[in-house]
Amino acid sequence: MNAIVLILLLVLLAACVAGVFLRFRGRHGTMHTGRFGRSIKVFSMSCKSGWTHSLAFFKGVFRSKEHRERLREEAHAKSSAEIVQTLGNMKGVMMKFAQIMSFAVDGLPEELQKQLQTLQSQAPPMSYAMVEQVIFEELGASPDKVFAKFDKIPAAAASIGQVHRAVLPDGTEVAVKVQYPGVDKAIQADLDNAGMMNSLGKLLFPGRDTEPMMEELAARVSDELDYEIEARNQQIFGDLYEGHPYVVVPAVRNDFSTKRVLTMEWVEGVSFSEVIERPGPEKQELAEKLYRFVFDSLQRHYVFNGDPHPGNYLFLEDGRIAFLDYGCVKYFSQEEMDRNREFVRGIRDKKGVDFVQTLDEQGYLTKNATDKVTPEEIWDYFLETWQQITVDVEWHVTQEWVNASTMNPLMQVGVMRRLQLPPSQLFLMRINIGLNAIFAKLDARINFYQMSMEYAEGAPPHTRLGEELAVWRASRGMGDIAPFSIFLGKDSPVGDIVQS
């Protein structure tokens, strides 16, 4: 017992030293942007959390069962609040992981998951003085001079910037996204810390080789730091979905936007946490709308908005959905989409070992992969992970199924370590994981087989929403496939896009 107490005291001392160091290094209201300082911040957070739970344990040693349970609940609440506060203040990559964990990782303590969900749109904000500073530097004057009205209290705060409601001189209500000062350095520090990034990847996806996924994430996160890129992305989606029956893309005001300030029309709606309390049929329709937005973008336009957490959705009273964040967008080439369709087709049609042979020929497997695991094991892995597209039924998306398909037991035999999927395929895997986690929250039932036939093979729509969309596409002259680069044309005001 004495040894345990000594260890706990040492942990507490380390946490205190780290905390004092960070308070000395950091200024009030700013984030730590150095790699060392951010690593110490994570270490300090872990130590404090461990101490909180250990202290609760020792306090309850000679207490009743009910008292011990109350102490454990209080410890969970306290440590959860500290974890979320720390990750929220760190912003950047650390907060993005917390956002993904809030809806895609099951089995977390209930209090922690509830606290993490606040980071989807209500992270600790920066001070108004910093907001004034950024707007002055970017737009040439203070907010009260640039805008007719500017709310000092943010409407939302996320991983890279926070949003303020405002009114332009012409009377237009807008949302003004202001980037946190220093967040670019903070993100670069996290991305340079390969050990921390890989540890976080393994936390989200135990058993997987997450290094390629982390590299892809790094490329996309770096793009998010430039709001001019995000504005261009948002304009492309706005053009593609203009007049859509249920997709809303807020219009960008380029005359009030820069690299660190992004101004767009204000949209009024409710959050994802509110709609999951609605009746089953209504949630079912919302799930299909989300699915069709994803795969219309991907399979018809070869572009996708890849930040899947629910904080990026607003649900309007008329049944439409506003999609808000276009910082993490990937553009796909014709070749990449053709390969993706072949990939889906091979699994859906249960081509088995022939499918694995094709993967090997196309460079999807590491050298001599089949010397380590058999083609049958590789095929069983893919069949288990993608079984929902192989049967013509309405698939009930439960959290248990999402967990099982994400944490596939065949990872233990090393199948994932023999795959070298291209970044585009890794991006698609991230989309699927995030989307399925959202479907589970909506208790959705989706015929993935029929959806696959529609989007990969051009089959007729099998639902009412699909038929409505076919009419809308025909009215715009889109046809079955309308890649963004073709539909927008060479003279599009959004400029040239490099597909990669």
Digit-coded pLDDT (tens) for 398-416: 988 887 776 554 454 567 6
User: Which residue's entry shows tokens 């479907």?
Assistant: 439
The per-residue pLDDT for 164 is 96
CA–CA distance, 448 with 452 (Å, rounded to integer)? 6
CA–CA distance, 160 with 127 (Å, rounded to integer)? 14
Close Cβ partners of 279 (under 8 Å, ≥ 6 residues apart): none
CA–CA distance, 223 with 330 (Å, rounded to integer)? 10
Q: What is the 3-state secondary structure (H, E, C) of the chain?
A: CHHHHHHHHHHHHHHHHHHHHHHHHCCCCCCCCCHHHHHHHHHHHHHHHHHHHHHHHHHCCCCCHHHHHHHHHHHHHHHHHHHHHHHHHHCHHHHHHHHHHHHHCCCCCHHHHHHHHHHHCECCCCCHHHHHHHHHHHHCCCHHHHCCEECCCCCEECCCEEEEEEECCCCCEEEEEEECCCHHHHHHHHHHCHHHHHHHHHHHCCCCCCHHHHHHHHHHHHHHCCHHHHHHHHHHHHHHCCCCCCEECCCECHHHCCCCEEEEECCCCECHHHHCCCCHHHHHHHHHHHHHHHHHHHHHHCEEECCCCHHHEEECCCCCEEECCCCCEEECCHHHHHHHHHHHHHHHCCCCHHHHHHHHHCCCECCCHHHHCCHHHHHHHHHHHCHHHCCCCCEECCHHHHHHHHCCHHHHHCCHHHECCCHHHHHHHHHHHHHHHHHHHCCCEECHHHHHHHHHHCCCCCCHHHHHHHHHHHHCCCCCCCCHHHHHCCCCCCCCCCCC
**What would the two tokens of residue 185 be?**
């350095």
Burial of 461 (0-12, 13-18, 19+ CB in 10 A): middle
Tell me if 154 sits within 8 A of 164, measured CB to CB: yes
CB 271: neighbour CB atoms within 10 A? 17
> Taking Cα atoms as reference points, which of 344, 320, 359 lies closest to residue 432?
344
CA–CA distance, 162 with 152 (Å, rounded to integer)? 11
Q: Which residues pair with 173 in a beta bridge?
A: 167
Amino acid identity for residue 268 in this structure: E
The per-residue pLDDT for 230 is 92
CA–CA distance, 190 with 196 (Å, rounded to integer)? 8
Low-confidence ranges of the chain (pLDDT < 70): 1-63, 65, 67-125, 189-221, 306-308, 406-414, 416-417, 421, 423-424, 426-427, 430, 479-500
CA–CA distance, 325 with 161 (Å, rounded to integer)? 11
CA–CA distance, 478 with 456 (Å, rounded to integer)? 16
Burial of 208 (0-12, 13-18, 19+ CB in 10 A): buried
Tell me if 293 sits within 8 A of 286, measured CB to CB: no
CA–CA distance, 412 with 210 (Å, rounded to integer)? 14
Q: Which residues pair with 270 in a beta bridge?
A: 315
How remote is the C-alpha of 437 from its chain's centroid? 11
CA–CA distance, 292 with 307 (Å, rounded to integer)? 16
Print burial letters for 163-186: b (CB count within 10 Å at least 16), e (below 16).
bbbbebeeeeebbbbbbbbbbbbb
CA–CA distance, 251 with 241 (Å, rounded to integer)? 11
Distances (CA, A) of 492 to 147, 331, 495: 29, 16, 6
The per-residue pLDDT for 237 is 93
Amino acid identity for residue 194 in this structure: A
Report the sign of the C-alpha dihedral through residues 288, 425, 456, 344, in that order.
Answer: negative
Length of the chain: 500
**What would the two tokens of residue 260 be?**
């660190």
The per-residue pLDDT for 498 is 37
